[in-house]
Structure 1
Amino acid sequence: MRQEWAVPDAEKRRCLIESLAGPALDVIRTLKLIDPGVSVRNCLEALDHTFGSVEGPEDSYCKFLNSRQQKGEKASAYIQRLERLLQKAVMRGAVTAEQRDQARLAQIVRGTQYLNPILLHLRLRERREHPPSYSQLIKEVREEEERQAASELWEAQTLEPASTTPLQTASVLMVSTR
């Protein structure tokens, strides 16, 4: 945003300072005392150094690679959780933007519960050479989860005990009148 915003650096710095409070504002005030013309870039770097994560690229990539789908967790929830870890790994330089889709799909295949019906139905293992983007993947997974839920609901309704069906009730009435 800082690069794309077509206003002078002084205006950007003013807006940044107006948006801060508490300890973050104290950090910027200290910078301004040292250098009244401090750049927005230096302000943001100081805030990141003070309050940002100290996690390195290896740590973020390791967290991404060790992520597994939890028991009872929907595949879509796992993919969303995994995406946050992947974005951190990309931001820290552990994964390039070009590798993102392949890294995501490979970890989904590794981290998803074995024989997950969604993984099997969407044939994700076979799509490693041409992995879908995040938005396409999450769309496909959510649609498949909905399809499976509807199918399970239909099966549950059709396999209810026969004593509640009208045909069963009619045959009981016929037997009792004899």
Structure 2
Amino acid sequence: MSDLQKSLRIRESLLPPASDVIKRLGPGAVAASYIQLLDAAYDTVEDGDELMARFINTLQDSGEKTSTYLHRLQAVLNQAVRRGGVATGEADRHLLKQLCRGCWDNALLLKLEPLKDAPPSFVDLLLLLRGEEDKEASRAVRMKQHLGSARTQEKGVCKPSSHGYQAVMKILEARQKHTDTGALGWAKMQGSTLRSYQLDTQSS
């Protein structure tokens, strides 16, 4: 695409008041001139050092995905590069360093720290983070399914019948009376109770 075509695309894509801003340049201006004027009108007025200070103080918000946090960092870093706050060749190193500094996911940090010797590009870093987030989401789904299945199985466990419980209680009560009734009486009561338990079990 030629420079004139780029300029035409810029003019066609703008609406007032932005389109009014570039009118002073005329239709023959190059695309770089349009962009420079639009930056002056609408871009941040902070200089490179101020933008780098903002970049360093940009931390991950509560509940924010790490990939979303990376996007925010990249946006501020791009502004700092344009304003001369950091060299283009150092951008990837600063991005990874601040990501490790501002991210609260300790498990993810263990995987990011070894990358500092050879920082990946923004695109590669974004793909890595999205892959980790996808794995974490899959683990959460599997855990939810497993725990839900376990609760269903617990509900299906049969509880002891009331007849069996009552029979056992009768035997225990009979033991307490053993000293009063003697061995013969105890044997009779135990036999009677056991027969009662058998009948209760059969009827249940």
Please, what TM-score do these two structures have when normalized by structure 1?
A: 0.72
Q: How much does 1:44 deviate?
A: 4.3
Change (3 A) 1:12 1:130: closer
Q: Is residue 141 of structure 2 the alignment partner of residue 156 of structure 1?
A: no
Q: What is the aligned counterpart of 2:122 among 134, 147, 150?
A: 134
> Which residue does the alignment assign to 1:51?
42
> Which residue does the alignment assign to 1:82?
73
> Which residue does the alignment assign to 2:103?
112
Q: How much does 1:38 deviate?
A: 7.0
Q: What is the total number of aligned residue pairs between the two structures?
A: 162
Q: Report % sequence identity.
A: 33
Amino acid at match of 1:117: A
List aligned pairs for 1:27-66, cutoff 5 A.
Answer: 27-30=21-24, 39-40=29-30, 41-66=32-57
SS of equivalent residue, structure 1 residue 84: helix
Q: Distance in 2 between matches of 1:6 and 1:16?
A: 13
Q: Distance in 2 between matches of 1:117 and 1:90?
A: 30
Greater helix fraction, Structure 1 or Structure 2: 2
Please, what TM-score do these two structures have when normalized by structure 2?
A: 0.64
Q: Is residue 28 of structure 2 the alignment partner of residue 22 of structure 1?
A: no
SS of equivalent residue, structure 1 residue 86: helix
Give 1 or 2 for the bigger CA radius of gyration: 2
More relative contact order, 1 or 2 (CA 8 Å, 6+ apart): 1
Q: How much does 1:153 deviate?
A: 2.2
Q: Distance in 2 between matches of 1:154 and 1:18?
A: 50
Q: Distance in 1 between matches of 2:98 and 2:7?
A: 40
> Which residue does the alignment assign to 1:172?
158
Q: Distance in 1 between matches of 2:126 and 2:34?
A: 36
| Unmatched runs of 5 consecutive residues or more in structure 1 | none
Q: Distance in 1 between matches of 2:33 and 2:70?
A: 35
CA displacement, residues 21-45 of structure 1 (integer Å, 9 cap, x when unaligned)? 534444444455xxxx974354543
Amino acid at match of 1:101: D
Q: Distance in 2 between matches of 1:107 and 1:80?
A: 12
